[in-house]
Structure 1
Amino acid sequence: MIEERINFLLTALIKISQSYSDKKIVYPLLQDNLDKLDLNFAVLLRHWAKNYFAGENLYNAQTVAAAAAIGNFCTLIGQFPHGNIADNLDIAIACCEVIEIIFTREEYPIEWAISKLNLGNAYGNRIYGDPTENREKAIAAYQDALKIYSREEYPIEWAETQTNLIPLYSAKIKHIKKDDNYVNLDKLVSICNAVLEIFTLYRYIEKWVIVKNNLASLYCDTPHRNLSNNFELAIDIYKEVLGVLNKESFTEECANTHMNMGIAYDKRVQGDRQENFNLAVQAYQNSLKFYTRDNYPFTYAILQNNLGNAYRDQGLATSAINYYWLALEIHTHTAYPNESLRASRNLGNTAFKSGYWDEAIKGYSIAIKAVETSRSWIKSESRRQKILEESIGIYESMVQACINAGQIEKAFEYSERSRSKRLVDLMASNNLYQSGEIPPAVAELLQQYEELQQIIGKERQSHKSENNRSDTRAAWEAYNEAIALLETQKQQVWENLRREDPVLAGEIQVNPLSLSEIQKLIDQPNTAILSFYTTNSDTHIFVVQKDQITLHTCTGQGLNTLQGWIEQNWLLPYRDEPKKWETQINSILCELAERLQISQLISQHLQGIEELILVPHLLLHQIPFAALPTGEYQEYLGDKFLIRYTPSCQILEFCQQRNNVGTFNGTSLEYGTVEDAEDNLPCARFEGEKLAQMYNIPSENRLIGSSQATSKNYRQLAQQVQVLHSCHHAQSCLDNPLESQLKLAQDSSITLGQLMTPSWRLPQLVEVFLSCCETNLGTPSLTDDILTLSTGFLCAGARSVVSTLWSVNDLATALFSIFYYQQRQEGKNRPEALQKAQIKLRDFKKVDLNKIFHEVEAKEKKLIVNRKKYPSDSIEYQQWKFEYNMYAQLNRRIKEIENSTQQFPFSDPHYWAAFICHGLR
């Protein structure tokens, strides 16, 4: 097969040379060898050229002729309308890469410029890869060509290059603020006019037509407050062009102009609507006289989609759908995902609006495959997320269409398919790394990431230790700018790191789960998955059990009415007015329970259920479901059901697939604690001491205070133990979740970004308890990715994580942790221990404080006696002082509560409801 391809390549190059690149001679040869024109051919071309040119004098006549033939092959294959156009364009790119070895700018400036033009053409039309990245590479290639093609020396070539740049610049400015588009549009119109002067002067009618079409398209496509008038300008230009073309005979240019005119008439604001429709359809039909399915299938399919749009805009849904299907026969999701997405989304939306649910489902199904194909072609994580965000409405419409069609199983599967894809990718990659060596390229990037994190930590520590009150504003701004630059560098390293990821590289595929696969995750008949999904209009709750699925719909609780309400009444008040938010928790949760119809949900769907696995959606991730009232007298959802969370069922499956470590009751597990890392949480210090007593935790497994609880020691401990308990400060970063951090000794920290890299491989971790503030606080993106310190530990290898939804009270947290581990010692599973601990903390009386903290007052008194035992300048005295202050502070906290009027000091949900459990039971 390789030999056949090489013979074909040599034959093609000879024919190109002998025929002076005559399409009538070369294209039949390409047509007869379509089976050889694929991505493997591009690889072979590079390999063959490398070997061929390696043995030649790079500047002899034969080598230059070969390079010229490859350059001409590049032009021809880039314009070849048959076979797999996506592959053709990548072959053209390979040709450009090959001939640049010979045609350097210094030795062959003109040939180099031609190669750059071809490269720009290939990237400008490229189908594979990231469209934004392709566009930028095309622009860069054309700009390189302009370094040779100045307007003064090479006016024609300058004009041709600018002609290619105009649509790329136009595509770029579509996303710029509308106020700026006056300037951008004026600049591009000015360039068009300059180019038109040259083509008019030299009577290049064909190229004049192309620029005129580009100018008209600019008027149609650029967002602008005078868009209505701009359509009229565009239509006048198309009429002018067709008037010229009728006198000449440029058939393809004429067909292209008719196609563009059809778009302008379809979008036209002025004039009679029916007349505009008729004119648009007539223009498309005129174009199809040239762009037939047999000769120009790609453009033919674009015209079918355009016809579909015209009929859709007239309310003729059935005809529109038929045209979209004709387009999709050519624009399949595997070959042309971007075009396939456009046509299939149009089909789905048109059918949805008309209530044709089966047709809508078929359309959206193709659209989702196209989105996921496009996403799989991209190595940039940020761009993959952008693709998903831009298309998330398709999943939402698909779910709603399935529900409307009564296909509840399919609706649930697609709701799952849409969520937490970034987190799923990360977990899939890290699962792969758990058992394998980290590749050298990844290891080098990991080292860079860690080094930047250390530099940032040192900068902050240094700045904090100085007397910052004397800082000038300039000094403060310089510090912030330095930190921002380091953060930007770190973000770039993260992006490069992700580009090396086996999932993003396409080496492993994460397939969505079916309903039956998800049901296998339910191991008890009295367990149900509650999966929430909010569409524009409603919030749907899928209730999945081992042998059935039902649906509960909260009508009218859509994205604005529910998710927007949660943002305004829960998240923003917590962030901006925490004290006020604290006083409103009960009333907000009561209203939310009504909005989610919790009492009806229980009575209609949850009879006989004892455990809930919650899959929240968007801001529901931030809600303490255990504290939602059920409608029964003083009963919470957490009283009635054991509750655990998972970001998605796929992530729960990852946790289940991890090998079991240790026994259920924990007697053979090794425990480790990280306590009071900054020496300012006496309750956390007491909490750690109690846990150490309960589990006989050896001193080497306890990192206590600022002398021990460093990030380096934390990582070593996390790699050794099976149960890790962290009781110290933490902080969520809502605007940049990867910078959420566990705050440790000496101003060091562990960020979520670090936890989510392959360097944090913790396959032996059974359970992590993050007894810190905000360890599951985050604002999910449109794609429902909840990136928090809690999910970071799941990503690193933990099977279960207990975490917090907000900034928790340190004394209440210490009590809760002690109660939780008492339940675990008795053999309770995680959600059961969580439930019992919450109830115990809620019912805890202030008179019972002395039972737990009885030694605190005695310890303080004993320390007072030892006040004069050590010289005031000795190390022993400093140690005594620290210990005394800790017990004194703790004792004051206890006395404050004992002296309060509240009989049950921790009964409010603010104290007990923040704790949630992710992962396995």
Structure 2
Amino acid sequence: MDELRRQAYQNLIDALLTCDREEEMGIMQANLELIDEGFAQFLRRDWATQTLGKLQDEEAFNCAINLHNFNLGFSSLRQGSRASNLEVSIACLEIGLTVITREAYSEYWAAFQNNLGADYGNRIRGEKAENLEVAIAAYLASLEVYTREAFPINNAETLYNLGLAYRDNSQLPAAYDTFNTAIETVELMRSEIIIGGEADRQKLAEEWNKLYQEMVEVCLAMANQTAALEYVERSKTRNLVELFYNARSVPQNPQPISFAEIGNLLAEDEAILEWYITFNGFKVFIVTYQPFLAPPYQGGVGGVDVWESSEQDLQALEEFQREYIDDIKDNEKYDNWKNQLETRLEKLAEILHIDEIISRLPETCKRLILVPFRYLHLLPLHALTSRRLRENVEETGSLLDLFPGGVRYTPSCQLLLLSQRVNPPGEDSSPRKLFAIQNPTEDLDFTDIEVEAIAKSFNPAEVLKREKASKTGLQERITGLQDADIAHFSCHGFFDFSNPRKSALILAGSKVTPLNPPLGKGGDWRGFLLGKGGDWRRFPLTKWGDWRGEKRKFSLGKGGDRRRFPLTKWRDKRSPPLTKGGLGGVSSNQSYIRSRRGEIFDITQCVTLTEIFDLKLNKCSLVTLSACETGLTDIRDTTDEYIGLPSGFFYAGATNVISTLWAVNDVSTAILMIRFYELLLSEIRPPVAIALRESQLWLREATVQKLVEWVADCQLIADAKKQEIQDYIKWGENPENKPYQSPHFWAAFCAVGQ
């Protein structure tokens, strides 16, 4: 090394040592030609002995802390040679460790070791296996200080890093054990959050979701599909499960669901399809009935199979859901979305490889339980077209067509299990008491026909009609709701993507004039989808060594305010004034919401999701939300917490919920609902999922002539109303046409629950 080069290296390290922290990266970027292996050698051979070695204790300590921070800069530097950047970064840490010893500075020493492990894990020079062994040794050293008891956050972070190193080194059993220990630490931290409560537990879960993803991948790599499914379930709907336990005073803390318990949810002719999305693809866990579910389980045997996508499939799915959601929420694009819905569902079936998944089910399977994940909750999976080969005959149709026992949804297997424990299936086969909300905004004429027809099948039937269906009216009759076997809400609905707890069912008296109050402009939808998480591998230290060691009791800070979506008018070609809901957003005044048609409502006079959580509906076997967008859930968080109106009713005690995925037409919805209750309350008393399936397929296939005849024969519809419905059905239509064949009219409805 010539003298000029040596002096240039010296000038660079001097500049970094004397600059402000925020200037470090700029200096590095301006001197990329000096950041090479020669610089690393200079630091080790010359600078470490001639400069650092001559400093007194306090000066040496501060200089070593600076080296740690240079490590953060060099390791994250994307310009220049990545290999050389890492060599310099490693040199900074190893030189710093000559000063930062475990005996003198144990916490700092642990942070140095963690970051050294990260650099060796990423190192390009040298043999990969040898680098990983060094990384593993560094992480293990760090964990000698970062114990769960003293530093739970750092313990989990370092365990996560160690698990990645074991995985990369093909030491899968060690990776499994390490990730499991990290999960135990994270779940302990979650249980000890006191200040901040549910919000901070949710934030912690989102930050650590990638740990569960890595564990699922390791389980699958070890051909341990049953354990993979258990960890998928362990990562989902945690807040809702805990709330469910607390609300029912269940004596023990919620325990993770086992594969045996998942298998025991199934009847002989039933299967579960559970989706899970990771960083490199999506998986579908296919659980089929097995008569003997006892450990030990064998991977791929014992009732579970796993279908895995490619990264290209995931990219296609991400693109599909962005376009789908953008169009459904943009009023200018809504008509286009509606007209292309059938084509889009065909494309979705291809992206999800639904044919391959269905082909893995036994011919005896007649019923499906679908467990979507994140944005898949917003898509009508039951309407996807597939093929089945049964008795050497190929059948083609939607999943509803192919599974005569019905298709139902559940947020997670654990929530389904909890629901069944509280309300065992089959206990209430003869519902008698109805509580209904009927057309509170007085702009849905066919809603009046719907509720009046349905109410004829119940005794007693308590109905809050039109102006009586107000917030005050509901509060006065709350006992009737809480004693009901079935609750039916036929009204406008609203889902707030930016704050799901403000989602609501619109009641009478909530509509206000545009001039009172003045409303600000809506925000936008940015932040609607989550990007990838950060990098846990590195721990930052301040320049003068301010290391904040985390203790066991802690509170996470609250997040910032999320943006609101734009508010536009609603349009529906078939019947502009007859669309239920489609409410667009919350104004800058937090108490008001504006519908897609421009109407303004006072949210304090509506029933919100937060208030639904406070209801007591343990006697209620079914809540029917015959309103718009009532099945939408919060898809921003990565932990699939399933926050939406259905979750509120489940928490309140309901066994089943029928909800909708988009704004539904008033007339077709009234017809579908009346037909549904005809079937549900018939002599055979079919399960909710079967009654809904039969109603949907009937509506899809019914011609104008058949619908007119059905109205004439229907004993539930008042004679005075039959002509009005028939005239609407026949208007501009050929008698042989199928006016509601499009999935827009029938596929929005989902049966969620038992």
1:604 aligned partner: 360
Partners of 1:271 and 1:815 in 2: how far apart? 67
Equivalent position of 2:609 in the other structure: 752
Q: Is the 8 A contact 2:439 2:491 kept in 1?
A: yes
3-state DSSP of counterpart to 1:703: strand
How is 1:311-390 mapped onto 2 (pairs within 5 angstroms)? 311-315=120-124, 316-353=131-168, 355-378=170-193, 379-380=195-196, 381-390=198-207
Shift of the 214–360 alpha-carbon distance from structure 1 to 2, 3 Å rule, reads: farther
Please tell me whether the aligned partners of residues 625 and 638 of structure 1 are also in contact (alpha carbons under 8 angstroms).
no
Partner of 2:544: none
The aligned residue for residue 430 of structure 1 is: 247
| 2:622 maps to 1:767 | yes
Q: Deviations over 1:329-386 (max 9, x none)?
A: 3323443222123222322334444554334434433333343333334332333333
CA deviation string 1:824-847 (max 9, x = no partner): 223101111111111221222211
The aligned counterpart of 2:744 is 910
Shift of 1:532: 0.2
Q: Quick one: which amino acid aligns to residue 328 of structure 1?
A: L
Q: Structure 2 residue aligned with 1:791, among 647, 650, 675?
A: 647
Moved over 6 A (4+): 212-215, 230-245, 270-276, 859-862, 886-889
Write out aligned runs for 1:178-257 (5 A). Answer: 217-219=21-23, 228-229=29-30, 249-250=56-57, 254-255=60-61, 257=63
Tell me the distance in 1 between the aligned counterparts of 2:454 and 2:323. 39
Tell me if the contact between 1:618 and 1:780 (Cα under 8 Å) persists in the aligned partners: yes
The 8 Å contact of residues 731 and 773 in structure 1, kept in 2 or not, is answered as yes
Amino acid at match of 2:220: I
Q: CA deviation at 1:307?
A: 2.0
Q: C-alpha separation between the residues in 1 aligned to 2:225 and 2:306?
A: 7
Alignment partner, residue 572 of structure 1: 327
Amino acid at match of 1:774: E
Instruction: Indicate the structure with greater strand content.
Output: 2
Give the aligned partner of residue 527 of structure 1. Answer: 270
SS of residue paired to 1:694: coil
AA aligned to 1:254 is A
Q: Please tell me whether the aligned partners of residues 438 and 469 of structure 2 are also in contact (alpha carbons under 8 angstroms).
A: no
Distance 2:49 2:617 in 1: 68
| Structure 2 equivalent of residue 131 of structure 1 | none
Contact 1:678 1:705 in 2 (8 A): yes
**CA shift for structure 1 position 241:** 12
Aligned match of 1:705: 466
Question: In structure 2, what is the Cα distance between the partners aligned to 1:684 and 1:661?
Answer: 30
Alpha carbons 2:288, 2:361 under 8 Å: kept: no
**Counterpart in the other structure of 2:562:** none
Q: Which residues in structure 2 correspond to 1:659-738 (within 5 Å)?
A: 659-660=423-424, 663-667=427-431, 669-698=432-461, 701-709=462-470, 710-713=473-476, 715-738=478-501
Q: 1:690 to 1:619 in 2, by over 3 A?
A: same
Report the CA distance shift for 1:226/1:817 in structure 2 as closer, same or farther (over 3 A): farther
1:213 Cα deviation after fit: 7.8
Scaled by the length of structure 1, what TM-score is found?
A: 0.60
* Structure 2 letter corresponding to 1:580: N
Does the 8 A contact of 2:64 with 2:100 survive in 1? no
Give 1:604's aligned amino acid. Answer: R
| Residue 301 (structure 1) aligned to one of 110, 131, 136 | 110
CA distance in 1, matches of 2:212, 2:666: 42
* CA gap 1:851/1:673 in 2 versus in 1, 3 angstroms: farther
Cα distance, 1:306 vs. partner?
A: 2.3
1:264-323 deviation digits (Å, cap 9, x = unpaired)? 257425898777666655554554455544565433322221221231232422221221
Partner-residue secondary structure (3-state), 1:543: strand
Change (3 A) 1:274 1:906: closer
The verdict on how the C-alpha distance between 1:850 and 1:246 changes in structure 2, with shifts beyond 3 A counting, is closer
Aligned length: 601
The alpha-carbon deviation at position 620 of structure 1 amounts to 0.9
Q: In 2 relative to 1, CA 396–230 (structure 1 residues): closer, same or farther, beyond 3 Å?
A: farther
Structure 1's 266 and 815: CA in aligned 2 closer, same or farther, altered over 3 A? closer
Whether contact under 8 Å (2:117, 2:134) holds in the other structure is: yes
Which residue does 1:401 correspond to in 2?
A: 218
2:506 to 719, 732, 743: 743
1:256 shift after superposition: 5.1
Q: How does 1:265-664 map to 2 (within 5 A)?
A: 265=71, 267-268=73-74, 269=77, 281=90, 283-285=92-94, 287-289=96-98, 291-293=100-102, 296-315=105-124, 316-353=131-168, 355-378=170-193, 379-380=195-196, 381-432=198-249, 509-522=253-266, 524-547=267-290, 548-556=303-311, 559-576=314-331, 577-631=333-387, 634-641=396-403, 642-660=406-424, 663-664=427-428
CA 1:408–1:730 in structure 2 vs 1: closer, same or farther (change >3 Å)?
same
User: Relative to structure 1, is the Cα distance of residues 840 and 227 closer, same or farther in structure 2, using a 3 angstrom cutoff?
Assistant: farther
Identity %: 28
**1:524-572 residue CA offsets vs partner (Å, 9 max, x unmatched):** 1222111101222222100123432111123335543213322213553
Q: Which has the higher contact order (CA 8 A, sep 6+)?
A: 2
Q: Distance in 2 between matches of 1:214 and 1:530?
A: 60
Q: Provide the rounded CA distance (Å) in 2 between the counterparts of 1:721 and 1:661.
A: 17
CA separation of 1:356/1:750 partners in 2, compared to 1, >3 Å: closer, same or farther? same
Shift of 1:215: 6.5
Cα distance change, pair 227–893 in 1 and its aligned pair in 2 (3 A): farther
- Does structure 2 conserve the Cα–Cα contact (< 8 Å) formed by 1:771 and 1:813? yes
Name the residue aligned to 2:690. 832
8 Å Cα contact 1:528-1:544 kept in structure 2: yes
Q: Which has the larger radius of gyration?
A: 1
**Normalized per residue, which structure has more helix?**
1
Per-residue deviation, residues 85-112 of structure 1 (Å, max 9, x unmatched): xxxxxxxxxxxxxxxxxxxxxxxxxxxx
Q: 1:423-473: per-residue Cα shift (whole Å, max 9, x none)?
A: 3333333333xx9xxxxxxxxxxxxxxxxxxxxxxxxxxxxxxxxxxxxxx
Displacement, 1:896? 1.9
The answer to whether the Cα contact below 8 Å between 1:563 and 1:619 also exists between their aligned partners in 2 is: no
Give me the whole-angstrom Cα distance separating, in 1, the residues matched to 2:675 and 2:654.
Answer: 22
Give the partner amino acid of 2:56.
S
SS at 1:678's partner residue? coil
Note the C-alpha offset of 1:916: 0.8
Give how far 1:589 is off: 0.9
Q: TM-score, normalised by structure 2?
A: 0.72
Deviation at 1:257, TM superposition (A): 2.8
Q: In 1, Cα distance between the equivalents of 2:243 and 2:31?
A: 46
1:775–1:788 Cα contact (<8 Å) kept: yes
Write the distance in 2 (CA, Å) between the matches of 1:359 and 1:664.
49
Displacement of 1:794: 0.7
The separation in 2 between residues aligned to 1:851 and 1:614, in whole angstroms, is: 35
Task: List per-residue Cα deviations over 1:218-270 (Å, max 9, x = no partner).
Answer: 545xxx666635999999999999988766632x6524532541552574258
Q: Distance in 2 between matches of 1:848 and 1:715?
A: 40
Distance 2:619 2:366 in 1: 29
Q: Quick one: distance in 2 between partners of 1:344 and 1:382?
A: 25
Deviation at 1:588, TM superposition (A): 0.9
Q: Is the 8 A contact 1:671 1:697 kept in 2?
A: yes
